[in-house]
Chains A and B, each alone.
Chain A
Amino acid sequence: MARRPRLEPRETRTEATQAWLGRAADLALEFARSAPPRRIRTFSEAAPDDLRTALAILSEIPDLGLVVHGPRGCGARAPGAAPLAVTDLDERDTVLGSGEVLAETIRALDAAHPLAGVAVLGSPVVAINSDDIRATVAELGTALDKPVVWVRTEGFRSAVTATGGDAAADALLQLVDAEESEREVGLLNLLTSTRGPELQAFARQIEGLGWRVNILPAGASVADIARAGRAEASLVLAPDLLDLFAEGLETRFGVVRLDVALPLGAQATTAVLRRVAALGGMAPPLAPPRNPSQPLAGRRIALALPTAWGLATADLIGDLGGAVVALSVPHVERSHAAALGGLAERWPDLQIHVGEGQGFERAGLFRRTSPDLLLGESDAVAGALRQGLPAAVLDPARLIGAGAAETLTAAVETALARVALARSAAQHARPGYTPGWLKRSPDWHIKQEVR
């Protein structure tokens, strides 16, 4: 059996970087010149990996069984709908290999729960001992007469967790029905990793333009994924994670990928809908008049969001009169460079932090930039509150659609009303980072990798 090429890490495929702390303009310049050099940390806090990302994406598919091939802890995940099993490898397996228990686990999960398919995720342990997942997957797919696919996660080959999105996308593409069949006219794939009322409302708007919407992979069935290859077009709402899925649907199955900005706010949403309408030959919706009000005027805001959403949200904050002084994102890659450059022109002193789980770096960032508030992910919010900075969680899923400006403004108001919470959090915070080290050069521990 010929070896499949190894999944390219984001560092190679998209010139992604995951370690940066400094001016956005300087990072944009690095992309403009060539690509940022690889950087490493000499002090780091616990960071996520590709397995976590892939597991999270695939866990949203309720009839896809997930088997994590590794010690039991590798199967830990946030609550998800997909049935889960782990091969629970012990020390002996790390030496002698464990193909048998993998096959046994796939069979056991299939017998215990009605499944339309099974995905096997690799762990660092099996990546090190080179267990042959591929052969087991091929054998079981035939034996069980249902798709059994390999998710090529390894845990350490890439420091960019979005590589897990690529591993998930690669597995999803294996679930797409490869049989030659007629295209389903009027079917549009909406590729998303989250669900929520705003997404449903957006999907209804697309349906109002005459399309049938296939939302996937979040909440989809294996059958929904199988028919994705028969759609006319794909629209990506999670470009940082599902870009490769859209690309694969286009190159392998001829599903047109709509190259549009995220539908965040009235103007952007209308632009997306106009593009969708044009593709279907429908009359485009009218663009709403620009709202001149600037409810965020004078506000200095820090953001911590997934990269594509963070960049788009920063732009919207600017349109609403606010200023983004600090932006924390998991990674930055070639596709983000233009938007990053735009923000750097808008706010030349904008500081950008690239990294995940690095509380020390964020603490230094907030300390130096002194924003009025922070909006973003829950770990960043907790970190900010412990520093006495008002903050509120902002879920990107809530920003989908025309109502993003209102959602954003409400989140700012929520954060600013949290002075008491910030005071309590700062008062009760357990010992944290040594003050002297927070005052040092912010990126003293981020070095260019010597290869």
Chain B
Amino acid sequence: MGHPTLFPFGGCALHGAIHAAAAIPGLIPVVHSTPGCALRAGLSAGGGRYGAPPGLPRIASTNMADKHVVFGGTSRLREEMKNALAVIEGGALAVLTGCPAEMIGDDVGAMVKELTGQGERVVAVQTAGFHGPAHEGYARLLAGLLAHVEPVPTRADRPLVTLFGIAPGLDPHWLSELETLSRLLEGVGLRANPIFGPEGGLAALDAAAGASISLVVAPWGVAPAEVLAARHGIPVLVADGLPVGAEAAEALVRRLSDRLGHPLDAAAEAYLARERAHQGWRFDAVLERLAALTPRRVVVADGSLRAGPLARFLRETLGWQVEVIVTDSPPEAFRADLGAAGVKLAADGADLVRLLRDRGADLVLGTTPAATIAAAQGRPAVDLGAAPGLEVLGGGLSGRAGAERIFAALLATLEPMPQAAPVPAILPPLPHAVFAQVAE
């Protein structure tokens, strides 16, 4: 049953599925729903009253009218799919159903079958908003696509690891996290299959069916990975979240190595040692300043990909006591374990306001909405997230580079501002050309 959601975070399952589909090169999202449904996926980034909000990709949409709602919209879907294949460059269609199409019971499967019967690559996925939060849409889309892939021959020189759990357009710095994990795997002699981003695509989807293992770094990746396990026997390794810091990255790599039966060679060991050394060097360089930070009640408020691992990093590296609030409404199956571990769930902004207040946090780290709420409550807050619509930019938290970013963000936010150095009272005039460039 529905429930009051005040100051809501994120969007619905359809929105998560749109972001995920748009991040797979070659895949064209076709939304079968009423107008507005698809564009709302990008509205948190702005966009005013007219046109498409910034950052959304090309999305074909049936924009169902009242007559389609009353009499059915399958014929409209048929013509939209046919024309989308012709007009938009890509190799496959992902038909994403919105609430109205699922409510009226349109036989989307029959329409898709017409096209697949002609050799076109088309998959329909039920992604109505009422199925859950945006991350649910990520999971549904991937599971739906992977239910139709068949193994293709892949390079067998190194074990292929498909990455699951990092949701494009939803998780902050998602592309950077995929790239960092890919580099980590390459560094120890494995090969990453990220599916999303410039290194992903339809071929990566197909390759997942023949991969050596599926690596899951967030609860939202479990369902898609299980599809591959059930259909193709691909083993699944569920990690303890994103590997934040060099130590967590190393621990993850060793687990993977054990599971794959692929011992790390000398080059891999040297790579891991370098990662530790690079992180340690920077840590030592700022130790005096980190040691001066003495928060007593630290709260991490973030999605299930990052919240637990970030808290663990702060505990194990800085020795802080950290409580965790998860903000992306994780799948029901994981909630009991999270509750047993003392993790709280915030379904909306009102929950988060209450939880932060009740905990009396004197330092909050996490997503941009969490940091904004904390700051509004007068609590020191370290924003490790991304502004809406800018999730694709910025470095992530995984690996040793993530540790460095956390140190930098903590010090930039929490250190007392040094007394401003005096500036020369009389400055030489700048050439006009400089001003012109700045204005542009």
Question: Are these two chains actual partners, yes or no?
Answer: yes
Is B86 touching A434 in the complex (CB atoms < 8 A)? yes
Interface centre among B1, B57, B84, B86 (most CB of A within 10 A): B1
Give A431 to B22 CA distance when docked, in angstroms. Answer: 12
Interface size on B, residues (CB 8 A): 73
Q: Interface residues of A toward B: which range?
A: 35 or more
Is A85 touching B35 in the complex (CB atoms < 8 A)? no
Is A76 touching B87 in the complex (CB atoms < 8 A)? no
Give min CB distance, A254 to chain B, whole Å: 29
- The chain B residue with its CB closest to the CB of A125 is B99
Q: Which of A43, A75, A193 contacts B87 (CB 8 A)?
A: A43
For the complex of A and B, list the 7 residue pairs with the smallest distance between their C-beta atoms, beginning with the closest. Answer: A73-B12, A49-B36, A46-B38, A43-B83, A71-B129, A105-B4, A431-B89
Verify if B8 is at the interface (C-beta below 8 Å from A). yes
Is A47 touching B63 in the complex (CB atoms < 8 A)? yes
Give A50 to B2 CA distance when docked, in angstroms. Answer: 23
When each residue 132-159 of chain A gets 1 if its CB lies under 8 Å from chain B and 0 otherwise, what string results?
A: 0000000000000000000000011101
Binding site for B on A (CB under 8 A): 40-53, 56-57, 70-79, 83-94, 98, 101, 104-105, 108-109, 112, 124-125, 128-129, 155-157, 159, 161, 193, 241, 304, 306, 330, 356-357, 359-360, 377-380, 382, 414, 417-418, 430-434, 437, 445
Q: Which of A72, A78, A379 contacts B12 (CB 8 A)?
A: A72
Q: A93-B2, A437-B86 are in contact. Are A71 and B59 (CB under 8 A)?
A: no
Give A356 to B47 CA distance when docked, in angstroms. Answer: 12
Sampled A-B contacts (27; CB under 8 Å): A45-B58, A46-B52, A49-B35, A71-B130, A72-B12, A73-B11, A73-B15, A73-B37, A73-B40, A73-B134, A78-B46, A85-B5, A86-B8, A87-B3, A89-B2, A89-B130, A93-B130, A101-B2, A112-B6, A129-B103, A156-B34, A156-B66, A159-B65, A193-B49, A417-B440, A431-B89, A437-B87
- The chain B residue with its CB closest to the CB of A77 is B43
Q: Point out the residues of chain B lying under 8 angstroms from A161, CB to CB.
A: 35, 50
Q: A125-B99, A155-B36, A241-B49 are in contact. Are A46 and B3 (CB under 8 A)?
A: no
Q: Point out the residues of chain B lying under 8 angstroms from A94, CB to CB.
A: 99, 103, 130
Is B41 touching A76 in the complex (CB atoms < 8 A)? yes
Question: In the complex, how many residue pairs between chain A and chain B have their CB atoms under 8 Å apart?
Answer: 251
Is A46 touching B56 in the complex (CB atoms < 8 A)? yes
Q: Which of B11, B31, B50, B129 contacts A48 (CB 8 A)?
A: B50
- The chain B residue with its CB closest to the CB of A44 is B63
Is A156 touching B69 in the complex (CB atoms < 8 A)? yes
Is B69 touching A74 in the complex (CB atoms < 8 A)? no
Q: Which of B2, B48, B69, B129 contacts A73 (CB 8 A)?
A: B129
Q: A46-B56, A306-B50, A379-B53 are in contact. Are A109 and B4 (CB under 8 A)?
A: yes
Verify if B51 is at the interface (C-beta below 8 Å from A). yes
Give A59 to B44 CA distance when docked, in angstroms. Answer: 13
